[in-house]
Structure 1
Amino acid sequence: MNNLNEFLEPGMLVRHPNQPDWGDGQVQSNIDARITVNFQNQGKVVIDGRHVALVMLPSR
């Protein structure tokens, strides 16, 4: 399966489509489809980009 988030780079803002209560998150890294995101209400989470397509938010 392909990396659904290969365009994401550190610093970009995202939301998890299945976890809206986590709030906005900032991408920390994107290596081999493993995206580390620091979410406002959940903290740092590593997401498998082959299974979850994060929603990119406009930069502030």
Structure 2
Amino acid sequence: MAALLQPGMCVRHPQRPDWGLGQVQSSIGNRVTVNFEHAGKVVIDLSQVDLTPDFAPRHDH
């Protein structure tokens, strides 16, 4: 999964829906830094968590 996550992609944490939408900042090995709407920047170990890509169109106003 780590190879699929590129900076700028939007993802969600399946166990933490309250964190909201996250944007991948960096991906190095199994460690991904994601900036979530309601949790800020979080480093996630992809061997422990399967982030869900969110391909829904964004409507920034």
Q: What's the TM-score, normalizing by structure 1?
A: 0.88
Contact 1:17–1:54 (8 Å) recurs in 2: yes
Counterpart of 2:29? Answer: 32
RMSD (Å), alpha carbons: 1.1
Which structure shows the bigger proportion of residues in helix conformation? 2
Greater relative contact order, per chain length (Cα 8 Å cut-off, separation 6+): 1
Give the ranges of 4+ consecutive aligned residues of structure 1 lying more than 6 Å apart after TM superposition: none
- Fraction of identical pairs, as percent: 56
Q: What 5-or-longer segments of structure 2 have no aligned partner?
A: none
Report which of the two structures shows the higher radius of gyration computed on alpha carbons.
Answer: 2
The counterpart of 2:52, out of the listed 42, 52, 55, is 55
**In structure 2, how many angstroms separate the alpha carbons of the residues matched to 1:21 and 1:37?**
14
* Aligned residue pair count: 57
Q: What 5-or-longer segments of structure 1 have no aligned partner?
A: none
